[in-house]
A = this chain, B = another copy of it.
């Protein structure tokens, strides 16, 4: 998506060999018009695939995901991060290890908002090592729900997340695919 690529070139900042900062338009400050346009692209791409719910991971994916859910006329489910295991029979939970941040957390999903009849579109801001998305897939599998595909704003194609998810049999649709940024310069695929 040219609009997002151009915005990344204008306002994104490469910070170290594999960190891209998009704090002024996606993560810390959010440009709602840009998010709405990205959402329209996701909704149009995944149209007609029998999707029943949009799912995202707390919290940077919420803005693009809530606009996508609105466009598709669906509810959004936000998978919640907890610092430690919660004792609750009404929850599915799975441990996520973030290599980027060097932290662990429990991702949780309440049985109340998912069912085995759900066919889910996962939306997130970044796809890098894929820990969060593969955790989301594990949670949805516990609920016997199925995954229709994964939509991300930015894929860092030089990291293994996308391959991992495609190897598991899911479609990944990324609006901007970065092939290389090792020389402080962002190159899209």
Contact = CB atoms under 8 A, between A and B. Distances in A.
B24 A113 contact: yes
B113 A78 contact: no
A77 B28 CA distance: 6
A76 B110 contact: no
Copies of this protein chain in the complex: 2
A78 B74 CA distance: 24
Interface string A5-45: 00000000000000000011001111111011000000000
A62 B76 CA distance: 13
B33 A70 contact: yes
A113 B59 contact: no
B70 A28 contact: no
Contact of A70 (B24, B27, B32): B32
Interface residues of A, number: 29
Contacts of A80: 28
A112 B59 contact: no
Contacts of A83: 83
A65 to B, nearest CB: 9
A129 interface: no
A63 interface: yes
10 contacts: A23-B112, A29-B77, A30-B69, A30-B78, A31-B75, A32-B75, A36-B70, A58-B59, A59-B59, A62-B66
Interface of A: 23-24, 27-33, 35-36, 58-59, 62-63, 66-67, 69-70, 74-78, 80, 83, 110, 112-113
6 tightest A-B CB contacts, nearest first: A59-B59, A32-B70, A29-B113, A30-B76, A62-B62, A32-B69
Given A28-B112, A32-B66, A62-B63, 15 more contacts: A23-B110, A23-B113, A24-B113, A28-B113, A29-B76, A29-B78, A30-B69, A31-B75, A32-B67, A32-B70, A35-B66, A58-B59, A59-B78, A62-B62, A63-B76
